[in-house]
């Protein structure tokens, strides 16, 4: 089957860093079959002071056209920032593994378009994808060279639609999806020997993308077959030429999508309409247990999207802390949840939060990148709270998630904020 898209040779460009990037068993299905609800625990909601005001944050414009992208090892991040002194956008790299975060702009002799994509590598270089024409995407690596910016062109891929996948676990390769009429091409756009390389072709239209291992071999994709039908998550084994096997099969006609996966614990965060409506659920890679849909993550008033899972919890998926972006009428804020706790803790996000981005440390501290008014970058710290023993509620009903109530005190950084929050019962 011919690949979706064509590659072009690298283009000549300014002299740059010529360093080259460093060069499993099949996944099992987590709990195919009927769904299993969590136990019917209920907890009384708490009211505490939380930093920030949701209404004020909702009125603040995003600092850039898209969220920050964080490297696989959390050492760097990249985004498009407003270009100083004129229209357009400028790539910006954040360094996150030092004592204090700092940002370095990577300007060239022209501003970037708002639809460009940037993705950091673990060696500090930043990949940029530009749309050179309606059906042509070019790729380059950017890096600081004293006061200037170096650029290493990598080549181009021909195709209408192209989406970068999340950073590869090895930190050096960058892959992209290019859907075609009946199949989706998987491309290695950075890390190859001779520019972009087509490495697999998967039947059907694929989207999403989550890594299931630390080697960058097992890639989970959401697929819809030609002619329509439900969306199902599959595993593409890149070590076996793109061989695809089912991962999520909750119900025959349900749309089952994988949102996040943690390679250490095997925890999977999914979205499915198998319960009768779109709901968030969780399962464990290789488990025989069915996917569960917690009541505390079910609400008609807001949209919840998980964006980070606590790493390092080997064989302990129920203990992993999960960070969720919560979007409602009052704006966006942060939810913290563990499968074992079955409670949703809610916190106001720092002003200037790059909404929906963040990462966990192994010891359960969530780091939220934000743009403070007096500095180019910042990272707020939020420790995952302990889940207290459950308390019964007389009427036995669960309240829906609402925006955290702002306290009367002056907002403080999350690292100094109370480590308790308003909770939705589970």
Among 49-63, 106-120, 170-184, 386-400, whose mean pLDDT is lowest?
Answer: 49-63
Average pLDDT over residues 41-62: 34
Instruction: Using a cut of 0.85, tell me whether the model's pTM lies above it.
Output: no
CB 130 within 8 A of CB 136: no
Average pLDDT over residues 42-70: 44
pLDDT class for 281, splitting at 50, 70, 90? very high
Residue-level pLDDT at 73: 96
Report pLDDT digits (tens) over 122-177: 999 999 999 999 899 999 999 999 889 999 999 999 999 999 999 999 999 999 99
pLDDT exceeds cutoff 90 at 349: yes
Report pLDDT digits (tens) over 357-403: 999 999 999 999 999 988 889 999 999 988 865 443 333 323 345 55
Residue-level pLDDT at 402: 52
Average pLDDT over residues 185-193: 95
Report pLDDT digits (tens) over 247-261: 999 999 999 999 999
Residue with the two structure tokens 């696989």 = 72
Mean pLDDT, all residues of the chain? 80
User: 3-state SS string over the chain?
Assistant: CCCCCEEECCCCCCCCCCCCCCCCCCCCCCCCCCCECCCCCCCCCCCCCECCCHHHHHCCCCCCCCCCEECCCCCEEEEEEECCCCCCEEEEEEECCCCCCEEEECCCCCCECCCCEEEECCCCCEEEEEEEECCEEEEEEEEEECCEEEEEEEEEEECCCCEECCCCCCCCCEEEEEECCCEEEEEEEECCCCCCEEEEEEECEEEEEEECCCCCCEEEEEEECCCCCCCEEEEEEHHHCCEEEECCCCCCCCCEEEEEECCCCCEEEEEECCCCCCEEEEEECCCCCCCECCHHHCCCCCEEEEEEECCCCCCCHHHCCEEEEEEECCEEEEEEECCCCCCEEEECCCCCECCCCCEECCCCEEEEEECCCCCCCEEEEEECCCCCCCCCCCCCCCCCCCCCCECCCCCCCHHHCCCCCEEECC
């Amino acid at each position: 089957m011919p690949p979706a898209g064509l590659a072009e040779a690298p283009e000549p460009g300014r002299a740059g860093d010529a360093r080259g990037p460093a060069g499993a068993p099949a996944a099992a299905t987590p709990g195919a079959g009927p769904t299993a609800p969590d136990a019917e625990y209920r907890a009384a909601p708490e009211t505490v002071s939380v930093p920030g005001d949701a209404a004020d944050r909702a009125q603040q414009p995003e600092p850039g056209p898209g969220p920050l992208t964080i490297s696989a090892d959390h050492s760097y991040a990249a985004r498009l920032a407003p270009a100083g002194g004129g229209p357009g956008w400028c790539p910006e790299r954040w360094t996150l593994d030092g004592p204090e975060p700092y940002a370095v702009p990577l300007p060239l002799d022209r501003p970037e378009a708002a639809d460009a994509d940037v993705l950091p590598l673990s060696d500090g270089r930043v990949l940029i994808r530009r749309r050179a024409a309606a059906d042509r995407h070019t790729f380059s690596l950017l890096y600081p060279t004293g006061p200037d910016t170096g650029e290493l062109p990598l080549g181009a891929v021909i195709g209408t639609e192209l989406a970068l996948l999340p950073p590869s676990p090895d930190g050096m390769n960058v892959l992209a999806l290019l859907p075609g009429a009946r199949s989706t091409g998987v491309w290695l756009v950075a890390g190859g020997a001779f520019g972009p390389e087509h490495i697999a072709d998967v039947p059907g239209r694929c989207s999403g993308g989550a890594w299931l291992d630390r080697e960058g071999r097992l890639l989970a994709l959401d697929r819809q077959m030609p002619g329509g039908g439900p969306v199902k998550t599959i595993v593409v084994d890149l070590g076996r030429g793109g061989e695809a096997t089912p991962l999520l099969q909750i119900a025959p006609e349900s749309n089952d999508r994988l949102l996040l996966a943690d390679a250490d614990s095997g925890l999977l965060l999914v979205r499915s309409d198998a319960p009768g409506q779109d709901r968030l659920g969780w399962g464990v890679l290789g488990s025989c247990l069915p996917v569960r849909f917690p009541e505390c993550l079910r609400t008609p008033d807001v949209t919840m999207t998980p964006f980070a899972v606590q790493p390092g919890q080997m064989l302990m998926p129920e203990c992993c802390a999960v960070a969720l972006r919560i979007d409602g009428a009052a704006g966006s804020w942060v939810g913290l949840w563990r499968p074992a706790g079955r409670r949703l803790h809610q916190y106001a996000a720092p002003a200037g939060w790059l909404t929906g981005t963040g990462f966990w440390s192994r010891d359960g501290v969530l780091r939220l990148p934000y743009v403070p008014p007096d500095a180019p970058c910042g990272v707020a710290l939020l420790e995952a709270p302990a889940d207290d023993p459950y308390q019964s509620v007389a009427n036995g009903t669960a309240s829906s998630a609402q925006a955290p109530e702002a306290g009367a005190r002056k907002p403080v950084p999350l690292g100094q904020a109370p480590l308790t929050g308003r909770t939705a019962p589970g």
